[in-house]
Structures are given as C-alpha cells and as structure tokens.
C-alpha cells in the first residue's frame, strides 16, 4: 500500500494516519523524496482502503500487491520521465541516445567525442572515470581529475554526463560534475551505495546485475527511491548465461517486462549486452522496437586504440549511422 501525503500535512494528521495503518497490523514506512512524501504500508491482511482514504492529509492511496512498491507501475498512471535540465529528458515520449567511450582517456578524446556527438545532435555523453575491471592490472580510469576535465568541456558544449560511481566515498567529490550516476552491473546489489544515492539530488541509472533477475533490479531501484531519490533509470545490459559466443546475452525480454512492471524509464546497453562491435547496431535497433526509452552505447574515434572495451566500441562513422537508424526506427515505431 502506498499512501501519498499532502504537502501541507500537519504532524497530528500524519500521526493519526500511521495509527490507523498500524491498527490493521501494517507497518508504515515514511519516505520523503524530491517530489513528495509517502507512507509505505507493509502488511498482509486485506482490508478496505476506504477506511483510511478519507483521513485528513491524504492525497491518494493505492494498493500495490508487488513486494517492491514505489517503483511499481501499479500506482502510477503515467510513466516517469527523468528531467536532466536544459530540455533534456529520459523517458516516455522521446528516445534518449547516450554515447561515448567506455573510459575517459584524456583531453583530446573528450574533445573529439563531444564534437562527434554534438554534430549528431546527441546531448548525453557516457564515459567511465572509475572503471570496474576484471583484472587489477587493467586501466582503472582517470578518476576525479578526468571527470573535472570532461565536465569543463561538456559544460561548454551543453552536454550531460553519465558516469559510473563505484563506492559511497566517490559520490561527494563527483556530485558537482555528474548529471547521471551510473550504478554498474557489479554494484547493482551494493545496498550501501544504493542507500547513499537515495540521498542525492541527481539522476541515477542502475544497470542490471550480471546474474541479476528483473525483480532484483527493481528491488535495487526501490532502495534508491525509498532513500529519497525518484530520478531513476533502469538499464538492461546483458546477463551471463551458458552461451559463450557473446560476452553477455542482452535480454530483450527484460525491456517489455520492465516497462510493464515499473513506471521508471528503461534503457538498453547493447555494447555490453553482446560485446561484439558489428552486432551492436541490430541489438540497439531491436531494443527500440522492444520499447526501450533509450539506448546507451560505446563509441571512440579509434576503437582499436581504446583503453577498454574496444572490441564492442563503434567508431564515429558507425556511431553516426546508428544514430540515424535509431531515430528512423523510433519514428517508425511511433507511426504504427
């Protein structure tokens, strides 16, 4: 059960609501986000919500049978849209295209990538400055200095930044330079990190865990939302299966299933999803057809020289072609 409280609710009214909720053997968890205040009722006994609904201070009340609540589609008529400012949004009604290198490598690469994206009308750039690598000897990112350098150029170009945060202590130093905090597949169930991102007034994109179920991804999002942050995006990025012909298996099933289960925007990452450059395009287009609200992929002026994930990275010519086809596919879908 989700009880949306009125913004001007008085403490005594709130207390009376909690008391009533408790009288049905429901626990009432208060959640305060950037957008509103909610009481999340957890219990199992069925009762008529009209017995609560008319109490003073309640804006709306909904029965949500899913065990995740705030991210469930069941209580929201409209899909959520994440607003990054300057007219840039992710969610229903548009196709968000986010692109950039796997890793931020230096000023020249930042400048040429921004120029490529800008020339193609892309306003959200991805890139890692803290890189989770399977081997500790691989390139692990430029860190905060890399992020600051990137920010300087991105700001000038009106480009938004999506970048991975790997641990709680990085949030504070990154905060001023990031538009979307990416939670990587290896951290989807890092509940301390999710709790901390719940306190932040910046968008968060949570990637699906490498062996994570769709429901586990939704629970991870529930952590951030119930921590106070509604600006959430979910990302299907491929899961580990018994298949060895590709790096991961992009689970296209997850896109329509997530869109049905949650009101949050859902995007697809075909680069990590398949891990093979020449197959990124068809999977990106299929993701749009499956209902994704956006696509995030890796591009680099010279993928063969990329510090990480070159094998799945598009060069700028391939990227330009993909952008064109993504837009045409989205238009086609809208025309049906």
- The residues binding ligand PEP (CB under 6 A) are 102, 128, 132, 184-186, 207, 237, 272
CA torsion, points 226, 232, 162, 174, in degrees to nearest 10?
Answer: -20
Least Å distance between CB 76 and ligand PEP?
27
DSSP string, 15-69: HHHHHHHHHTT-EEEEEE-SS-EEEEEE------THHHHTSTTEEEEE---SSS-
Q: Which is nearer to Mn ion, 132 or 228 (CB)?
A: 132
Least Å distance between CB 264 and ligand PEP?
17
Beta bridge pairs of residue 62: 2
Q: Which is nearer to Mn ion, 230 or 251 (CB)?
A: 251
- Give the number of other CB atoms < 10 A from CB of residue 208: 26
Six-digit token string for 137: 């000897």
Of 3, 31, 102, 322, the residue at the interface with Mn ion (CB under 5 A) is 102
Of 251, 269, 293, 309, the residue at the interface with Mn ion (CB under 5 A) is 309
Length of the chain: 336
Least Å distance between CB 19 and ligand PEP?
44
140-155 burial, b if ≥16 CB within 10 A, otherwise e? Answer: bbbeeebbebbbebbe
**267 near Mn ion, judged by CB under 5 A:** no
Which of ligand PEP, Mn ion, none sits in contact with 247, Cβ below 5 to 8 A by type?
Answer: none
**Count of residues in contact with Mn ion, rule CB under 5 A:** 2
Q: Which is nearer to ligand PEP, 57 or 128 (CB)?
A: 128
Least Å distance between CB 111 and ligand PEP?
20
Q: Which is nearer to ligand PEP, 133 or 317 (CB)?
A: 133
Give the integer Cα–Cα distance in Å for 234 and 218: 8
161-172 burial, b if ≥16 CB within 10 A, otherwise e? Answer: bbbbbbeeebbe
Q: Which is nearer to Mn ion, 80 or 308 (CB)?
A: 308
Which of ligand PEP, Mn ion, none sits in contact with 39, Cβ below 5 to 8 A by type?
Answer: none
Least Å distance between CB 305 and ligand PEP?
17
Give the integer Cα–Cα distance in Å for 128 and 234: 18
Least Å distance between CB 208 and Mn ion?
15
Residue whose CB is nearest to Mn ion in the complex, by number = 102
Q: Are 291 and 259 in contact (CB under 8 A)?
A: yes
User: Order of strands, edge to edge, in the sheet holding 2-5?
Assistant: 27-32, 37-42, 2-5, 58-62
Cβ contacts of 212 within 8 Å, gap of 6 or more: 185, 188, 189, 220, 239
Which of Mn ion, ligand PEP, none sits in contact with 160, Cβ below 5 to 8 A by type?
Answer: none
Least Å distance between CB 136 and ligand PEP?
15
Which of ligand PEP, Mn ion, none sits in contact with 43, Cβ below 5 to 8 A by type?
Answer: none
Which of Mn ion, ligand PEP, none sits in contact with 236, Cβ below 5 to 8 A by type?
Answer: none
Least Å distance between CB 283 and Mn ion?
15
Q: Are 261 and 214 in contact (CB under 8 A)?
A: yes
Residue whose CB is nearest to ligand PEP in the complex, by number = 184
Which of ligand PEP, Mn ion, none sits in contact with 129, Cβ below 5 to 8 A by type?
Answer: none
Q: Are 210 and 240 in contact (CB under 8 A)?
A: yes
Tell me which residues touch Mn ion (CB under 5 A): 102, 309
């Amino acid at each position: 059960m989700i009880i949306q409280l009125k913004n001007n609710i008085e403490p005594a009214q709130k207390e009376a609501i909690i008391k009533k909720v408790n009288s049905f053997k429901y626990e009432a968890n208060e959640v305060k986000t950037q957008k509103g205040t909610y009481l999340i009722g957890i219990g199992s006994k069925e009762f008529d919500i009209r017995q609560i609904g008319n109490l003073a201070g309640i804006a709306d009340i909904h029965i949500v049978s899913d065990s995740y609540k705030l991210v469930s589609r069941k209580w929201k008529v409209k899909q959520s849209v994440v607003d990054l400012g300057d007219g840039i949004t992710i969610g229903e009604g548009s196709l968000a295209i986010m692109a950039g290198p796997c890793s931020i490598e230096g000023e020249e690469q930042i400048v040429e990538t921004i120029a490529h994206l800008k020339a193609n009308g892309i306003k959200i750039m991805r890139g890692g400055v803290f890189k989770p690598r399977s081997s500790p000897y691989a390139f692990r990112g430029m860190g905060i200095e890399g992020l600051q350098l990137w920010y300087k150029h991105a700001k000038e170009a009106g480009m938004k930044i999506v970048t991975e945060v790997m641990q709680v202590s990085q949030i504070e130093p990154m905060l001023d330079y990031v538009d979307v905090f990416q939670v990587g597949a290896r951290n989807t169930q890092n509940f301390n990190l999710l709790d901390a991102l719940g306190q932040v007034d910046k968008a968060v994109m949570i990637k699906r865990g490498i062996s994570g179920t769709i429901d586990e991804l939704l629970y991870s999002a529930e952590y951030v939302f119930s921590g106070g942050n509604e600006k959430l995006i979910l990302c299907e990025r491929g899961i580990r299966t018994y298949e060895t012909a590709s790096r991961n298996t992009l689970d296209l099933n997850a896109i329509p299933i997530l869109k049905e289960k949650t009101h949050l925007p859902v995007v697809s990452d075909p680069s990590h999803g398949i891990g093979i450059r020449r197959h990124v395009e068809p999977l990106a287009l299929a993701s749009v057809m499956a209902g994704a609200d956006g696509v995030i992929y890796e591009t680099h002026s010279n993928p063969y020289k990329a510090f990480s994930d070159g094998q799945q990275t598009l060069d700028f010519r391939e990227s330009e072609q993909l952008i064109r086809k993504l837009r045409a596919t989205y238009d086609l879908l809208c025309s049906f």
